[in-house]
Each structure stands twice: as structure tokens, then as C-alpha cells.
Amino acid sequence: MNCRHIEIYGDYYLSNTLSPPLRAEFEEHLNGCAPCRTNFERDKKLFGLLVSLPLPNPPEEYWQNLEKNILAKTFEESRLEFIENGIKKDSSIKEYLRFAIPLAAMFILLFSSLLGNFGFLNPFNMIESTRFYSYNIELLGNYQIQAREPIEFLSQTEGVLIMSAPGNAGYGLLIMAQMQSHGRGNDL
Amino acid sequence: MTDEIKILVEKFTQGDQSAYTELVRRFQKRVYVLAYRMMGNHIDADEVTQETFVRIYEKRHELKTISYFQSFLLRVASNYAIDLLRRRQKRFISIEDETEMLPSVQAELVENIALPDKDLENAELAEIIKQAIDRLPPRQKITVALHDVEGYTMTEVAMTLGCPEATVRSNLHIARSKLKKWLAKML
């Protein structure tokens, strides 16, 4: 064993993990080499000093609080991470919809116009062929109502006018309205 | 590592919160002691300990081998402590830092601190050694703390720090040379 080996095996010697034959060789070299012996003695002292450093020993209450703090922090952060991921997912859906909605609208328009060309459906032609009926109603001013179907006036009491347009889903209710003139309108 | 710990670690990697709680209870002191050796004060050691456990929970899927749990845990702790030390860039940790601690905890900590062995004549001597260790660069400091102070083997230190044993040996050699120089009067 040479001086270099003493440096390498010093740790193992101090921690008693050197095999008996190597341990004997180690000691033999130290006995015959003053510089190595001095260096090793200093290492030994340093090792002793480091091992003897006082350990921090907080009260038991601290460990209980530490555990609580760790768990609170861990699960709060993982909850935030979960929310953050959720937001990211929502954002990705929104991103997707930003492109999907205009694409769908374009497709519907294109499809409708194609059908119209074949005579199945054309919303523009339909509007052109519809007859409008016109009524004048005074409702805090003079207004003109236009309807595609003739309006049937169901009742007229003071200040309240109830009317129905056949083909519509329900009744229209005008409050505080006073009909000035009514009747079948003219085609526009 | 006992079978009981292995089962806990396995459950923990699958996201079992009660297993994680139990691991926190069992390993928090070990992490705190290492953090205290690294940081030199209670406040920072507390921060490192808390952050270490939060991080291992987030990184639980990265633990491939159950039996490496302790190395994994200490590696996360040492990396965080090293980052913290580097961020502070050789900031001198004075005794004033300890006064930020709650007075009751501070008082009990001082009272409960283990008395130095016969080699350490008094707390002043321990403080000198502690300050000498604090002067070491973070990597050398963690190597000394793990190997020389806490008694981990070279292999364990290498696994914890994620480097070859030769690097551990080299860091240890350089760190000890410095310490011997700084503490020459005591040796």
C-alpha cells in the first residue's frame, strides 16, 4: 500500500469497513510513513469534529406543525395545478371552437345555396315571395307593424290590446297600447 | 428499506394520499436534519423540508425504483438547498436569522440542542466548525454533510447527488483539505 492508497482508504478505515488484510496493510504503512500518519491524524480529528456537531432538535410540536404545513401546501398546490390544467383544457376547447364555429357557418351557407340552386330551399327567394300586412298602432307614438300573416285582434280593453297572429306560437300582449286604426293591411 | 416502507412508497407512487402522509411523518426529520446542515438555520431548513415534500409529491411518477426512495427524497432536498444557497450567493448566514423563528420554538430549540461530545469543548467550537462548513461551495458542503456528518456511505451519497462515486470522493477530498486549512488550529 502506498501514500495514495492511504488517502483513498482513509474513509473506509475510519468507518470500519476495510477488510482485515487491507486494514493491516493500512496500519503498517501509517507506522512507517510520518507524513501520512500526520495527515491521517488530522483527518481523524476533523472527522471526529464533524460527527460531533450538535443536531438540531426542535420540540415535538414543531414536527406536528411541519407535517400539517407540508400536507396543506402539497394538496393546495396540487389542487391549483388541477385547476390550472382544467383552465388549460377549457382554453383548448375555446381555441377549437374559435375555428369550428366559422367553419360550420361557412359550410351551412354553402350547403343552403347549393340546395337553393336545385330548387329545394332558398331563404332569399322565400322572403321575396312573402306578403306583408301592415297595421298602424299608437303606442306612445305612432308605429307600423308588419306581419307575414293577417293579425287577428282578440280583445281590446282600455289601454290593453291582445292580438294573435295565426301561425305564430302564441299571443302578443301590448300593454298601454291604444289602437288608432286597424284592419287588413296592404301587400307591400 | 423495510417492506413496510416499500409498500408505502409503492402506494405513494400510485397517488395514495394516506401513504404520502405516513412517509412525510417518517422522513421529515431526516430531511430537516440534512436541510439544517446545508442551510445552517431553522427558517431555511423548514422551507427546504416543506418544499422537498411538495416536490416529491409532484414528481412521484418519476420514481421508477421503489428502493431508491430515500436517495430520491434526499436528492430533491439537496438540489433545492443548493439552488437556494446559490441564489443567495454566498450570503453570510448570521445568528440574526434565527431570531426570525417564533420565540417559543427558538427557546426550546436552544434548550433541546444535543450537547457537543467531548471533542467539542463548547458550543463556540461547534459554531466555528459550522461556519467553516458554511464557507464551502454548495456541492462540497452537501457531500461533507451527507458523508462526514450524517454518515451516509460514498455509494449512498453518489446516488443521492446523482454523480459518480469518484466525484463524491474528489469533492470530499477538496472539502476536507479546505476544512483542515481553516480549522488548522483545532487539529
* DSSP string covering chain A: --HHHHHHHHHHHHTT-S-HHHHHHHHHHHHH-HHHHHHHHHHHHHHHHHHTSPPP---HHHHHHHHHHHHHHHHHHHHHHHHHHHHHHHHHHHHHHHHHHHHHHHHHHHHHHHHHHTTS--HHHHHHH---EEEEEESSSEEEEEESSPPEEEEEETTEEEEE-TTSSSEEEEET-B----S-----
Q: Which residues contact B69 (CB under 8 A, 6 or more apart)?
A: B1, B5, B9, B23, B63
- B contact test, residue of A52, A73, A76, A79 with most B CBs within 10 A: A52
B22-67 residue pLDDT tens = 999 999 999 999 999 888 889 999 999 999 999 999 999 888 888 8
Domain count along chain A: 3
Same domain for A139 and A120, yes or no, is no
Q: How confident is the model at residue A177, as a pLDDT?
A: 40
Q: List where CATH 1.10.1740.10 sits in chain B.
A: 1-113
Q: Do B45 and A67 touch (CB under 8 A)?
A: no
Same domain for A97 and A110, yes or no, is yes
Q: How confident is the model at residue B143, as a pLDDT?
A: 92
Q: Is B184's pLDDT higher than 70?
A: yes
Q: Which residues contact B182 (CB under 8 A, 6 or more apart)?
A: B132, B135
CATH number of B1-113: 1.10.1740.10
Q: Are strands A160-164 and A152-157 parallel, antiparallel or unpaired?
A: antiparallel
Rg (CA), chain B: 17
Residue type, A56: P
Q: Which residues contact A97 (CB under 8 A, 6 or more apart)?
A: none
Of residues A50, A74, A78, nearest to B148 (C-beta): A50
The reply to whether A45 touches chain B by the CB within 8 Å rule is: yes
Same domain for A118 and A145, yes or no, is no
Burial class (CB in 10 A: 0-12, 13-18, 19+), A26: buried
Longest CA pairwise span in chain A (Å) = 131
The predicted model scores a pTM of 0.59
Q: How confident is the model at residue A152, as a pLDDT?
A: 55
Q: How confident is the model at residue A54, as a pLDDT?
A: 81
| Grid coordinates of A14 | 475510519
Range of the domain at A10: 3-51
The reply to whether A16 touches chain B by the CB within 8 Å rule is: no
Q: How confident is the model at residue A96, as a pLDDT?
A: 63
B89-140 residue pLDDT tens = 555 544 334 334 444 544 444 444 444 455 455 677 888 888 888 889 999 9
Asked whether residue A102 is domain-assigned, the answer is yes
Q: Do A42 and B187 touch (CB under 8 A)?
A: yes
Nearest chain B CA: its distance from A94 CA (Å): 28
Task: Report the C-alpha gap between A150 and A143 in whole angstroms.
Answer: 17
Same domain for A170 and A136, yes or no, is yes
- B contact test, residue of A37, A70, A85 with most B CBs within 10 A: A70
Nearest chain B CA: its distance from A32 CA (Å): 22
For A161, phi and psi rounded to 5 degrees?
-125, 125
B68-82 residue pLDDT tens = 899 999 999 999 998
Same domain for A88 and A110, yes or no, is yes
Asked whether residue A187 is domain-assigned, the answer is no
Spatial contact of B5 and B69, defined as CB atoms under 8 Å apart: yes
Same domain for A150 and A121, yes or no, is no
Spatial contact of B53 and B31, defined as CB atoms under 8 Å apart: yes
Q: How confident is the model at residue B54, as a pLDDT?
A: 94
Instruction: Specify the length of chain B in residues.
Output: 187
Task: Report the C-alpha gap between A55 and B30 in whole angstroms.
Answer: 11
Same domain for A112 and A162, yes or no, is no
Question: Which 8-state DSSP code applies to residue B147?
Answer: I
The topology under which CATH files domain B117-187 is Arc Repressor Mutant, subunit A (1.10.10)
Spatial contact of B75 and B162, defined as CB atoms under 8 Å apart: yes
Rg (CA), chain A: 48
Q: Supply the mean pLDDT for chain A.
A: 66
Q: Which residue has the cell 454566498?
A: B90
Of residues B54, B108, B112, nearest to A73 (C-beta): B54
> How confident is residue A146, by pLDDT bands cut at 50, 70 and 90?
low
Q: How confident is the model at residue B128, as a pLDDT?
A: 86
Please list the residues that pair with A160 across neighbouring strands: A157, A175
Is the ipTM reported for this complex over the cut 0.90?
no
The reply to whether A78 touches chain B by the CB within 8 Å rule is: yes
Task: Report the C-alpha gap between B112 and B106 in whole angstroms.
Answer: 10
Residue type, A163: M
B123-182 residue pLDDT tens = 778 888 888 888 899 999 999 999 888 888 888 999 999 899 989 988 988 998 899 888
| Grid coordinates of B52 | 422537498
Q: How confident is the model at residue A133, as a pLDDT?
A: 57
The reply to whether A113 touches chain B by the CB within 8 Å rule is: no
Of all residues in chain B, the one with the smallest CA distance to A61 is B105
Interhelix angle A60-117/B42-58, nearest 10 degrees: 40
Q: Which chain B residues touch A52 with a CB distance below 8 Å?
A: 116-117, 119-120, 126
Task: Report the C-alpha gap between B30 and A144 in whole angstroms.
Answer: 86
Same domain for A71 and A116, yes or no, is yes
User: Contacts from A149-155 at CB under 8 Å and sequence distance 24+?
Assistant: A150/A184, A150/A185, A153/A179, A153/A182
A18-38 residue pLDDT tens = 888 999 999 999 999 999 998
Q: How confident is the model at residue B93, as a pLDDT?
A: 45
